[in-house]
Amino acid sequence: MALPIEIIEIVLSKLSVKTLLRFKTVCKSWNILISDPVFVRKHHDRQLRSKGSKKSENLFLVKNSKVNSQGFSLVKLEKGRRIQTLQQVFGPYLWATVLCFCEGLILICDLSKDNFALWNPSTRTHTIFKATFYCSDAAFGICHDPITDDFKVVIAKSYDYSVYSCNNNSWTMLEKKYETKYNDYSVEYELGVCVDGTSYWASKCNPQIVYYDPRDDKFKILHMPENMDYKRSEFGKSIYLVDLSGFLCLYYEGRDKTVVIWRKGKGIENHTWSELMTIENMEEPLRWFEPKYLLGNKIVIRIKETNHSGRLVVYSPCKKRFQEFKDTKMVFGWLGFVPHMDTLFFPVEKSGRIVTGEFGFPIEKSIPERKRKRKCIQ
Q: What is the pLDDT of residue 350?
A: 46
What is the C-alpha separation between 156 and 274, in angstroms, rounded?
29
Segment 156-174 shows an average pLDDT of 84
User: What's the one-letter identity of residue 123?
Assistant: T
Whether 122 and 17 have beta carbons less than 8 Å apart is answered as yes
User: What residue ranges define each of the domains in the chain, with the CATH number in brackets?
Assistant: 5-48 (no CATH), 49-356 (2.120.10)
Give residue-wise pLDDT tens across range 266-281.
Answer: 988 899 999 998 998 8
What is the C-alpha separation between 181 and 159, in angstroms, rounded?
16
What is the C-alpha separation between 119 and 218, in angstroms, rounded?
25
User: What's the one-letter identity of residue 125?
Assistant: T
Q: What is the pLDDT of residue 312?
A: 82
Does residue 210 surpass a pLDDT of 90?
A: no
What is the C-alpha separation between 207 and 176, in angstroms, rounded?
19
What is the C-alpha separation between 176 and 158, in angstroms, rounded?
8
Give residue-wise pLDDT tens across range 333-373.
Answer: 445 678 888 898 887 544 444 444 433 444 444 334 444 44
What is the C-alpha separation between 83 and 310, in angstroms, rounded?
14
Nearest to 85 by CA among 376, 294, 330, 318: 330
Mean residue pLDDT across the chain: 77
Nearest to 145 by CA among 218, 209, 243: 218
pTM listed for this prediction:
0.81
Q: How confident is the model at residue 306 (pLDDT cuts 50, 70, 90)?
A: low
Q: What is the pLDDT of residue 200?
A: 93
Which residues touch 306 (CB under 8 Å, ≥6 apart)? none
In the chain, % of residues over pLDDT 70:
76
Whether 140 and 117 have beta carbons less than 8 Å apart is answered as no
What is the C-alpha separation between 128 and 92, in angstroms, rounded?
9
Q: Name the least confident of 23-37, 97-111, 293-307, 325-339.
A: 325-339
Nearest to 144 by CA among 179, 174, 107, 184: 107
DSSP calls for 239-299: EEEEEETTEEEEEEE-SSS-EEEEEEPSSTT---EEEEEEE-S--S-GGGEEEEEEETTEE
Give residue-wise pLDDT tens across range 9-46.
Answer: 888 888 889 899 999 888 888 899 998 888 988 898 88
Q: What is the pLDDT of residue 274?
A: 92
For the chain, helix, strand, coil in percent to 5 are 15, 40, 45
Whether 222 and 200 have beta carbons less than 8 Å apart is answered as yes
